Structure 1
């Protein structure tokens, strides 16, 4: 299913943004699944946390996978045998929740406490990609370079 907005003119005039346009087009076609509920928390400038409310799930019922800019949390609960429920309000259904991760965002750890699964994320930009300050020199260098060039010409002419 395509979104209401046509991205094809932008696809033709840009290079390397295919993943972004795919995300935008697919975001409107996804079902509005709201289980399990979650919070996104900004801990510091480059640190984040995802908190998922998972009442009734144990650590063994969960699987967390981080691969190619995507975090997938899956849960599958075994059926509870031996009880005769009058009302069943705590969800037993399995789930799969996907989160898109920006470049250089890594999952650092996960912890489960009181029915809340907390997944810590950190953005680590490689040194080569960080901005660097370029020093602007005065006229001394240029003068020195011209003097060196002039002296090398004199030795070539001689």
Structure 2
């Protein structure tokens, strides 16, 4: 049986890499850590662009335990806590669990910064105004 996806349409050319990215993200999402994505409206009077804020609940992780990178139009946030053998737990309900969370970025999206405060990691993304472009293609007739 052949698998059909929206990207197999003959009208969508060159989107095979996006399809692979979406498949990889769908396989790797286990819900940890929980996150929010919010739209922060721009101040038009000041000429500021609209931006998005991704906030992840990373309680127990320090700045050294977290890694925020951009790889091939993907924002990747990784967390890895180092185990210290100094503690003697009577009960351990908070796991030192590693994670990787990926977000696909549209063309033009830029990460403006990341802040860790009160167990929440906030990553701000600037969404610039799209440039509307119309390009005329000349048609040549061979002789």
| Whole-angstrom CA distance in 2 between matches of 1:120 and 1:18 | 28
Give the match for residue 55 of structure 2: 51
Q: How far off is 1:9 after superposition?
A: 7.7
How far apart are the structure 2 equivalents of 1:5 and 1:23? Answer: 17
Larger CA Rg, structure 1 vs 2: 1
CA contact 1:49–1:121 (8 Å) conserved in 2: yes
Higher relative contact order (CA 8 A, sep 6+): 2
Secondary structure of the structure 2 residue equivalent to 1:56: coil
* Unmatched tracts of structure 1, length 5 or more: 133-158
> How far, CA to CA, are the matches of 2:118 and 2:76 in structure 1?
21
| TM-score for both structures, normalised by structure 1 | 0.68
TM-score (norm 2): 0.74
Structure 1 runs (4+) greater than 2 angstroms displaced: 7-14, 16-28
Structure with more of its chain in helix, by fraction: 1
| SS class of match (1:39) | strand
| Unpaired runs of at least 5, structure 2 | 43-49, 134-143
Alignment-derived partner of residue 6 in structure 1: 4
List per-residue Cα deviations over 1:92-111 (Å, max 9, x = no partner): 02111111111111110000
Deviation at 1:68, TM superposition (A): 1.9
Give yes or no for the alignment of 1:103 onto 2:102: no
Matches within 5 A, 1:2-151: 6-7=4-5, 10-26=8-24, 28=26, 30-44=27-41, 46-125=50-129, 130-131=131-132
Relative distance call for 1:120 and 1:82 in structure 2 (3 A) is same
- Contact 1:50–1:120 (Cα < 8 Å) also in 2: yes
- Cα distance change of structure 1 residues 8 and 103 upon mapping to structure 2, 3 Å threshold: closer
